[in-house]
Amino acid sequence: MNKILVVDDQKTVCYSIQRLLQSEGYDVLTASNGTDALSIINHKKPDLVIMDVRMPEMDGLEVLGKIKESHPDVQVIMMTAFSTTEKAIQAMKLGAYDYLTKPFDNNGLLIRVNGAIKARDLMKEVVTLDEIEDYEGERIVGKSPAMLNIYKQIGKVAPTDATVLIRGESGAGKELAARAIYHYSKRSAKPFLAINCAAIPEHLLESELFGYERGAFTGADFKKIGKFEQCSGGTVFLDEIGDMSLGLQAKILRILQDGAFERLGGSETIKTDVRIVAATNKHLEDMVKEGLFREDLYYRLNVVSISLPPLRERKEDIKELAAYFIKKFNRKLGKNIKGITQEALEGLKEHSWTGNVRELENTIQKAMVFCNSDYLSIECCENLNLQKIGSCASVEDAIENLVNLAFKDGCHERFQDMMSMIEKGMVKRAMELTKGNQVHAAKLLGISRNTLRKKLGEE
């Protein structure tokens, strides 16, 4: 049961809010001033605080600042009888989840309470070196101010059916954010289907999304149900939507407008009820100006926009991310590495991370392959020549650095190991980009499907 603290010097306000929240199944505590509130927070550790701005002795904003210093993961909703923009802005800057002006209706309060609790639940999934018990699947990780703001946005938008556009550089975690939105939505019991629009050729992407009738084209020997039809009631994630053709964009627009489409080769109009979450690493506004992206679709997708920060702007999260990936790859690699040294951690923080979280994940995995001690050390990371390879201006520079590293001290066997690792990494990435489709992965790699199967069998 979630615990909520209500703080107001007017006992009638505390009582009415307490009764309302208790009727919704919350455990509700009350306090009449900031000093008592801070004491209760320290001892009872509530999930959410609903607090008045104007109180005797200690102003509500002062209390908010103290809460965020000592308990940054506690959500706070501020309320006041005075509708002042300055107070609202100050409260949000200090880290308040939301701001309410008295008198407010009960439904409005409950909507904000539910959103704050969901945001709090997301933050509970943050992993630290001391807290990790086991690896239980992919998660969003980070406690930086930038990521706390992302959790807040996800918590607010998840319960709605609003279309969401997730922006961010490659490797920043856009699909994880989409899955978090789905997980905390009312559609979580229905399917979640992810489609990478950049990895699938246009004609295949159209048939994947909308399906086709038997005889629609050469090789269409049976009717196929598309993703939008399969996922009715659920969520479809369109990754890298900026790479979608204009023709397909028109069909996506129709689904957003009236939930209707036709299978390829068919005339029957099919209705579907899906929530669309899209993602891109491109600047869609510029693409609209250049005629490469439909303006009407852009506005339909951009109902709610969430921008994921690059890793270089939240390096304080690298400690938690490193711990998380160590646990993940301990299981996958059969290792028992207990943590990472401070020296190695500082080395990771100095890197530019142009590939963002995905690059960090791959770096930790490779370093763990080389590591033979209980803790991931700077030597393990130096074996990858992290700074030099990561800052290469071209493919040629990267190859030269890899070759120089491989022949260091005449160690030609190490070169073979590196080439094998690079090849396996390319095969793995091709399979990820094509969602496990061996035919498409083989085309990306420029090899036959039989060769790909052989390389998959060697892993």
Task: Please indicate, yes or no, whether residues 291 and 402 belong to a single structural domain of this protein.
Answer: no
> Is residue 174 a part of any domain in this protein?
yes
pLDDT of residue 243: 92
Question: Which of these, 306, 302, 278, lies nearest to 150 by C-alpha position?
Answer: 306
Tell me the residue range of the domain where 381 lies.
Answer: 313-458
* Highest-confidence segment of 97-106, 258-267, 415-424: 258-267
Q: How many Cα neighbours within 13 Å face the side chain of 110?
A: 11
Query: The domain spanning residue 210 has which CATH number?
Result: 3.40.50.300
Percentage helix, strand, coil for the chain under 3-state DSSP, each rounded to 5: 50, 15, 35
Distance of CA 319 to the CA centre of its chain: 18
Task: Please indicate, yes or no, whether residues 341 and 432 belong to a single structural domain of this protein.
Answer: yes
Cα(400)–Cα(392) distance, rounded to whole angstroms? 10
> Is residue 197 a part of any domain in this protein?
yes
> Is residue 181 a part of any domain in this protein?
yes
Cα(152)–Cα(357) distance, rounded to whole angstroms? 20
User: Which of 285, 307, 329 finishes a domain?
Assistant: 307
Question: Which of these, 161, 159, 193, lies nearest to 303 by C-alpha position?
Answer: 161
Cα(411)–Cα(403) distance, rounded to whole angstroms? 11
Tokens 């979450």, residue? 277
* Highest-confidence segment of 111-115, 154-158, 224-228, 275-279: 275-279
Number of domain units in the chain: 3
Task: Please indicate, yes or no, whether residues 176 and 289 belong to a single structural domain of this protein.
Answer: yes
Whether residue 46 has a cis bond before it, omega within 30° of 0: no
Task: Please indicate, yes or no, whether residues 188 and 118 belong to a single structural domain of this protein.
Answer: no
> Is residue 128 a part of any domain in this protein?
no
pLDDT > 70: what percent of the chain? Answer: 86
Cβ atoms 30, 5 nearer than 8 A: yes
pLDDT of residue 246: 93
CA distances from 93 to 74, 145, 340 (A): 15, 11, 34
At 453, the pLDDT band (50, 70, 90 cuts) reads confident
> Is residue 129 a part of any domain in this protein?
no
> Is residue 135 a part of any domain in this protein?
no
pLDDT of residue 190: 92
Sign of CA dihedral 401, 325, 68, 12: positive
Out of 276-290, 310-324, 375-389, which region has the weakest mean confidence (pLDDT)?
375-389
Angle between helices 438-445 and 449-458 (to 10 degrees): 100
CA distances from 117 to 36, 275, 276 (A): 22, 22, 24
Cα(33)–Cα(46) distance, rounded to whole angstroms? 16
Task: Please indicate, yes or no, whether residues 96 and 160 belong to a single structural domain of this protein.
Answer: no
Using one digit for the tens of pLDDT, what is the confidence trace for 207-216?
A: 889 988 888 7
Using one digit for the tens of pLDDT, what is the confidence trace for 354-410?
A: 889 999 998 898 888 877 777 887 777 655 554 444 444 445 555 666 666 555 544
Using one digit for the tens of pLDDT, what is the confidence trace for 120-138?
A: 776 654 433 444 444 455 7
pLDDT of residue 332: 87
Task: Please indicate, yes or no, whether residues 261 and 320 belong to a single structural domain of this protein.
Answer: no
State the first-to-last Cα distance of the chain, in angstroms, to the nearest integer.
46
Cβ atoms 356, 171 nearer than 8 A: yes
Task: Please indicate, yes or no, whether residues 206 and 277 belong to a single structural domain of this protein.
Answer: yes
**With helix as H, strand as E and coil as C, how does 165-187 read?**
EEECCCCCCHHHHHHHHHHCCCC
> Is residue 281 a part of any domain in this protein?
yes
Query: The domain spanning residue 37 has which CATH number?
Result: 3.40.50.2300
Radius of gyration of the chain (CA): 26
> Is residue 96 a part of any domain in this protein?
yes
pLDDT above 90 (res 162): yes
